[in-house]
């Protein structure tokens, strides 16, 4: 060792004392912190506070699926399953005419309940193009629910294909239902939950626009009657598609299965088909007023399958070449296609 490398003893150097107690405390601290960390990191997965993930699967996110209730109400004897009201001066008369044989709106909802009304607001289109539900009927229904049935809250919700804010604005639906006293729910990223639908083939577990369904007592579907390029017709059951989230466009690969799955997912209190602007061709988007046939029918009912079958035959005028999803829905117990004898027509 050269002179230069010798450690310098500074005159003010004081040896730091390390007592036995200090030594012990430090060792204990190291053992305590280290041991605690070792427990958290190493204890088997079942032990309390264990953070160990031996397979890499424990750390995967867990979605606790929600389940939807059955929103149907019991039907009195002798009441038809489907009622068709034709004529009438306006949507309100027609809707009252159609509901009357079923027991009126008060048969379906009770005072103080929360009701979800699900229109079809899929596209950024004006109402005369027939691609979306008619704002007039929705406003009549909202008022009827609030005034006649004295429900606590009427929610209106849909998850459109185009920008939600624009679709609700330009279809005229937001304005109509908010003026009537309803509350519009638009989808945002926090509004979805994974839904478990037992028995469904394609959507046994699938994200659904759940916020408007939270604590809801009754659900009413209000759908336009539309031509559909792939499944031939979009009516009451196809309307529930608008509650799905996720990459739902894959369902076109098996469209009839998904529509029948939807009838299983949602057991609505009531389904209302609006036959005032029927989209006869170029559906489901339409886009030209000449694609639309004006009508004067409102169809209400508690059997969604019979409802769609009747409307397919009489409103879209397609005969009895029913889309396959009707038979599939019948197999899944959502209703019966054979509507003969179960439909009552009333005329003003």
Partner 1 sequence: MSERLEQLPAYEPKRLLRLTNARIVSQVFFFVAFLLAVWATWTSRLGGYPVSRLLEMDPLVMVATALSTGYVYRFLGWGLLILALTLVLGRVFCNWICPYGTLHQFVGWLFNTRKPADRWASNRYRKIYFFKYAILTVFLIMALMGALQIGLLDPICLMYRTFATAVAPAFDGAVGTAGERLQAGGVWLDSLKFAPGVERRVFVGSFWIGLVLFVLVGMNVVIPRFFCRVLCPLGALLGVSSRFALFRINRDVHKCTDCNMCMARCEGASDPQGQLRLSECFVCFNCIDDCPEDALSYSMFAQDAKQVVPAPDFGKRKMVFAGLAGLFALPLIKNNGVNTDENYSADLIRPPGSVEEEEFLERCIKCDQCINACPTNVLQPATFAEAGVEGLWTPVMNFNIGHCQLKCTLCSEVCPTGAIRKITVEEKMGKGRYSEQGPIRLGTAFYDLGRCLPHAREIPCVVCEEVCPVSPKAIQTKDVEVKDVFGNIVVLNKPFIVPDLCIGCGICQTECPVTDSRAVYVTPVGESRSTERRLLLNNRSSSA
Residue ranges binding partner 1 (CB under 8 A): 123-126, 161-166, 169-170, 186-190, 211, 228-230, 247, 249-250, 252-255, 282, 284-288, 291
Choice between 283 and 335, CB closer to partner 1: 283
Choice between 224 and 301, CB closer to partner 1: 224
Choice between 55 and 249, CB closer to partner 1: 249
Choice between 143 and 211, CB closer to partner 1: 211
Sign of the Cα torsion 169, 172, 175, 180 reads negative
Distance of closest approach, residue 177 Cβ to partner 1, in angstroms: 16
Sign of the Cα torsion 184, 188, 190, 192 reads positive
Choice between 135 and 187, CB closer to partner 1: 187
Distance of closest approach, residue 288 Cβ to partner 1, in angstroms: 4
Distance of closest approach, residue 70 Cβ to partner 1, in angstroms: 25
Distance of closest approach, residue 285 Cβ to partner 1, in angstroms: 5
Contact 128, 277 (CB under 8 A): yes
Strand partners, 206: 195
Q: Where are the beta strands (DSSP E) in the chain?
A: 82-86, 114-119, 153-157, 183-185, 192-196, 205-209, 218-228, 232-234, 270-279, 292-301, 343-347
How many angstroms separate the most distant Cα atoms in the chain? 118
Neighbouring residues of 115: CB distance < 8 A, sequence distance ≥ 6: 109, 145, 151, 153, 154, 155, 216, 217, 218, 219, 220, 269
Q: Please give the structure tokens belonging to residue 92.
A: 């309100």
Distance of closest approach, residue 129 Cβ to partner 1, in angstroms: 8
Choice between 181 and 287, CB closer to partner 1: 287
Choice between 186 and 270, CB closer to partner 1: 186
Distance of closest approach, residue 325 Cβ to partner 1, in angstroms: 13
CA 208, distance to chain mean position in Å, is: 5
Distance of closest approach, residue 190 Cβ to partner 1, in angstroms: 4
Per 3-state DSSP, what percentage of the chain is helix, strand, and coil (rounded to 5)? 35, 20, 45
């Amino acid at each position: 060792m050269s002179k230069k490398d010798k450690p310098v003893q500074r005159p003010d150097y004081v040896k730091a004392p390390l007592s036995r107690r200090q030594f012990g405390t430090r060792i204990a601290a190291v053992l305590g912190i280290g041991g605690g960390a070792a427990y958290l990191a190493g204890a088997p997965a079942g032990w309390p506070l264990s953070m160990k993930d031996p397979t890499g699967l424990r750390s995967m996110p867990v979605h606790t699926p929600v389940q939807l209730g059955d929103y149907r109400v019991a039907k009195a004897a002798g009441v038809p399953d489907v009622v068709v009201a034709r004529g009438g001066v306006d949507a309100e008369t027609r809707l009252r005419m159609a509901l009357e044989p079923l027991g009126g709106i008060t048969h379906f909802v009770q005072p103080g309940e929360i009701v979800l009304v699900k229109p079809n607001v899929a596209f950024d289109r004006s109402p005369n193009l027939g691609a979306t539900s008619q704002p007039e009927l929705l406003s009549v229904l909202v008022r009827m629910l609030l005034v006649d049935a004295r429900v606590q809250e009427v929610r209106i919700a849909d998850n459109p294909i185009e920008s939600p804010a624009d679709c609700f604005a330009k279809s005229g639906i937001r304005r109509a239902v908010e003026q009537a006293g309803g509350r519009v729910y638009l989808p945002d990223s926090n509004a979805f939950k994974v839904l478990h639908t037992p028995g469904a083939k394609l959507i046994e577990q699938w994200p659904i626009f759940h916020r408007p369904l939270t604590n809801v007592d009754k659900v009413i579907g209000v759908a336009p009657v539309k031509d559909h390029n792939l499944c031939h017709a979009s009516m009451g059951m196809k309307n529930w598609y608008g509650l799905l989230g996720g990459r739902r466009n894959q369902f076109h690969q098996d469209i009839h299965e998904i529509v029948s799955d939807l009838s299983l997912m949602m057991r609505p209190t009531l389904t209302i088909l609006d036959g005032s602007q029927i989209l006869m061709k170029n559906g489901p988007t339409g886009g030209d007023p000449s694609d639309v046939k004006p009508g004067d029918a409102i169809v209400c009912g508690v059997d969604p399958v019979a409802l769609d079958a009747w409307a397919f035959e009489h409103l879209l005028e397609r005969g009895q070449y029913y889309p396959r999803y009707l038979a599939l829905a019948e197999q899944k117990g959502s209703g019966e296609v054979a509507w003969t004898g179960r439909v009552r027509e009333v005329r003003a």
